[in-house]
């Protein structure tokens, strides 16, 4: 009997060791064995976080309506490099991530910094900059008549920000196959690609990103044949071949300031402004996803599915628990 007990104790000890090893491995992969993201993470430590961020975003968007898509884009760009950890906010010289070619035109840093200042006065050292970015994107969407949703929080700020790490950002000139690979590498599906591309329902782009598509799509010149022939003259008028590359045009023709599925309908009919959006028609799966939102009997809504995808995106590579830090200012490591 004593021998049996000894064996049982040995087995129990081995099981415990195995559990600890698994927990450590899980910690390395997911951030920590504890402290994963959760809605209401700051309910006890900083209950005013939502109101402070939403009030500031409201001020910013009422002052500049373009700030809604700007803050949404900032969240996307942060999450696609090193995960949703505020790495894009660091401003420590030319090698900082924010200076990467793939982040051209990304703005909104001052809004995040201002929110951080207010939060530091109310609950110092508690709320991460990464969480502020995620919350600000949610409030920006709502300010553009989009859905309001609950944001799981508990992210910590990353300790790395390097321009070289942004080399795999999705690009407007990427093929649909490359876009799907880049999204898959982040744990996102073809459906997520369609829905997150739908974020282009609000905002503008620069003519700089249109030059190749309008005038040099083929060697020797020419326009992208997927552009609706009724739309091509309008695009060329807005972005002349020798015109200002910084001039801006709406990405969602006819609905650039309202969050809705109009962008998908435009893409389906050749009215996509960005080449990466137009490429959603080049794959059977992504095209089927787009078409599904216009089936009369589809029980799912674009807005509800978009929420699922952006919440999913907001969990990419998060640092939680003892990983990372809570920055005092968002533009610099502690």
Is 252 annotated as belonging to a binding site? Answer: yes
pLDDT at 236: 98
Is 78 annotated as belonging to a binding site? Answer: yes
pLDDT at 16: 44
pLDDT at 299: 80
Same domain for 203 and 112?
no
Same domain for 267 and 149?
no
Rounded to 5 degrees, what are φ and ψ at 89? -80, -20
Query: Has residue 22 been placed in a domain?
Result: no
Percentage with pLDDT > 70 across the chain = 90
Contact 93, 292 (CB under 8 A): no
Query: Has residue 64 been placed in a domain?
Result: yes
Dihedral angle computed from the Cα positions of residues 68, 73, 75 and 77, in that order, rounded to the nearest 10 degrees: -160
Same domain for 59 and 158?
yes
How far, in Å, CA of 53 to CA of 66, rounded?
Answer: 17
Same domain for 152 and 53?
yes
**Which CATH number is 209's domain given?**
1.10.420.10
CA 243 to chain CA centroid, nearest Å: 31
Is 75 annotated as belonging to a binding site? Answer: no
Is 329 annotated as belonging to a binding site? Answer: no
Write out the residue range of the structural domain in which residue 267 sits: 176-313
Tens-place pLDDT, residues 238-283: 999 999 999 999 999 999 999 999 999 999 999 999 999 999 999 9
User: Which residue out of 75, 77, 103, 269 is catalytically annotated?
Assistant: 77
Is 192 annotated as belonging to a binding site? Answer: no
In the chain, how many domains are there?
2
Query: Is there a catalytic annotation at residue 75?
Result: no
Distances (CA, A) of 264 to 65, 199, 200, 258, 281: 22, 10, 9, 13, 10
Is 87 annotated as belonging to a binding site? Answer: yes
Query: Has residue 201 been placed in a domain?
Result: yes
β partners of residue 157 = 325
Same domain for 84 and 126?
yes
**Which CATH number is 130's domain given?**
1.10.520.10
Tens-place pLDDT, residues 18-42: 443 443 344 444 333 334 899 999 9
Same domain for 146 and 230?
no
Query: Has residue 131 been placed in a domain?
Result: yes
Q: Which stretches of the chain score pLDDT less than 50?
A: 1-35
pLDDT at 29: 42
What tokens does 168 get?
């795999």
How far, in Å, CA of 269 to CA of 289, rounded?
Answer: 15
Same domain for 151 and 236?
no
pLDDT at 35: 44
Query: Has residue 325 been placed in a domain?
Result: no
Query: Has residue 280 been placed in a domain?
Result: yes
């Amino acid at each position: 009997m004593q021998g049996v007990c000894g064996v049982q104790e040995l087995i129990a000890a081995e099981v415990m060791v195995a559990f600890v090893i698994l927990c450590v491995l899980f910690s390395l992969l997911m951030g920590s064995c504890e402290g994963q993201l959760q809605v209401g993470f700051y309910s006890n430590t900083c209950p005013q976080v939502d109101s402070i961020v939403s009030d500031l975003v409201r001020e910013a968007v009422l002052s500049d309506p373009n700030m809604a898509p700007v803050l949404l884009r900032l969240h996307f760009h942060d999450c696609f490099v090193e995960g949703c950890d505020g790495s894009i906010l660091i401003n420590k010289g030319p090698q900082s991530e924010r200076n990467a070619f793939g982040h051209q035109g990304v703005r909104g840093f001052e809004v995040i910094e201002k929110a951080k200042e207010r939060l530091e006065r109310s609950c110092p050292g508690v709320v991460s900059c990464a969480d502020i970015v995620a919350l600000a994107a949610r409030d920006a969407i709502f300010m553009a008549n989009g859905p309001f949703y609950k944001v799981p929080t508990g992210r910590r700020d990353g300790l790395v920000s390097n321009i070289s790490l942004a080399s795999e950002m999705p690009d407007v000139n990427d093929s649909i196959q490359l876009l799907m690979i880049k999204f898959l590498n982040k744990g996102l599906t073809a459906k997520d690609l369609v829905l997150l591309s739908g974020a282009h329902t609000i905002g503008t782009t620069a003519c700089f990103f249109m030059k190749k598509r309008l005038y040099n799509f083929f060697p020797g010149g020419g326009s992208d044949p997927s552009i609706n022939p009724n739309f091509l003259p309008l695009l060329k008028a807005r972005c002349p071949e020798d015109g200002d590359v910084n001039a801006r045009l709406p990405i969602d023709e006819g609905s650039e300031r309202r969050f809705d599925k109009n962008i998908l309908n435009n893409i389906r009919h050749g009215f996509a402004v960005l080449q990466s959006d137009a490429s959603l028609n080049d794959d059977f799966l992504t095209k089927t996803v787009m078409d599904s939102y216009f089936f009369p009997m589809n029980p799912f809504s674009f807005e509800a599915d978009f929420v699922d995808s952006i919440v999913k995106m907001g969990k990419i590579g998060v640092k939680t628990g003892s990983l990372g830090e809570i920055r005092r200012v968002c533009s610099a490591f502690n």
